[in-house]
Structure 1
């Protein structure tokens, strides 16, 4: 799977660990930055991630910041993105199954690397259920549906 990953400075270590782990799992990973721990603005990286997932360059996105909140808000500004802030695998799976989330957000200061990997695994392995959920997902990008 083609996966894009981006963070702010607070999550750079978790981003690097997840990037290497995903590559080991056989995924193609686009690291959208940042490259150094210098302070950056999370919206810049959230917008970049949203653009890459929306245009199809990446099939899924992983957004990281200290809490996961700020970057998830910035990703969700894009009408084609559905980014769920998760902290455990069940939420990650339900975000895919019910909401067709194409991005998840994790907080590096709140989620350890093993739990982050479990969330990413659930996110990547769960399929969208469609059916009654499709109508609701359609309304996320087009409220007049």
Structure 2
């Protein structure tokens, strides 16, 4: 499995903790995020992560910024991307099981580091339920 990850300056610490977790599980991590706390524009790392997921170069993506909103909005501009903004494990479970999300967006300023790592675990271990949820996803247009 390969996961692309991106972060701005607000998510650097979180990115390193998540990257360590993923690598310990034998998952290949492609890092597009900043490695410093210097100000960075989130769109600069969102597009490469979304491109990787969209073009099947990565199985999933993880994006981290201060609120999580900017990365989610930007990623969802890409076709076939279903990026979900989550602030607890229950919502992570729903974006995977009901929405078949392929990118997890984490708000670093509104979640604790331990909580963010736990959310990644749920994201990796939750399967899409299909059924009525598949029917609903099929109604999301690729473009309007």
Aligning the two structures, in what range does the TM-score lie when normalised by the shorter sequence? Answer: over 0.9
Is 2:56 the partner of 1:56? yes
Matches of 1:14 and 1:143, distance apart in 2: 32
How many corresponding residue pairs?
144
| 3-state SS in 2 of match to 1:141 | coil
| 3-state SS in 1 of match to 2:63 | strand
Shift of 1:71: 0.8
Shift of 1:64: 0.3
Equivalent residues of 2:43, 2:71 under 8 A apart: yes
TM (normalized to structure 1)?
Answer: 0.93
Moved over 4 A (4+): none
Shift of 1:21: 1.5
Equivalent residues of 2:11, 2:66 under 8 A apart: yes
Gaps of 5+ in 1: none
* Aligned equivalent of 1:10: 10
Deviations 1:117-136 (A, max 9, x none): 11111111111111111111
* Aligned equivalent of 1:114: 114
Equivalent residues of 1:10, 1:65 under 8 A apart: yes
Gaps of 5+ in 2: none
Equivalent residues of 2:83, 2:101 under 8 A apart: yes
After TM superposition, the structure 1 stretch with the greater mean CA deviation from structure 2, 19-28 or 94-103, is: 19-28
Matches of 1:16 and 1:126, distance apart in 2: 22
Shift of 1:143: 7.3
TM (normalized to structure 2)?
Answer: 0.94
Matches of 2:97 and 2:107, distance apart in 1: 22
Higher normalized helix content (fraction of residues): 1
Matches of 1:143 and 1:48, distance apart in 2: 20
| 3-state SS in 2 of match to 1:140 | coil
Equivalent residues of 2:106, 2:116 under 8 A apart: yes
| 3-state SS in 1 of match to 2:139 | helix
| 3-state SS in 1 of match to 2:138 | helix
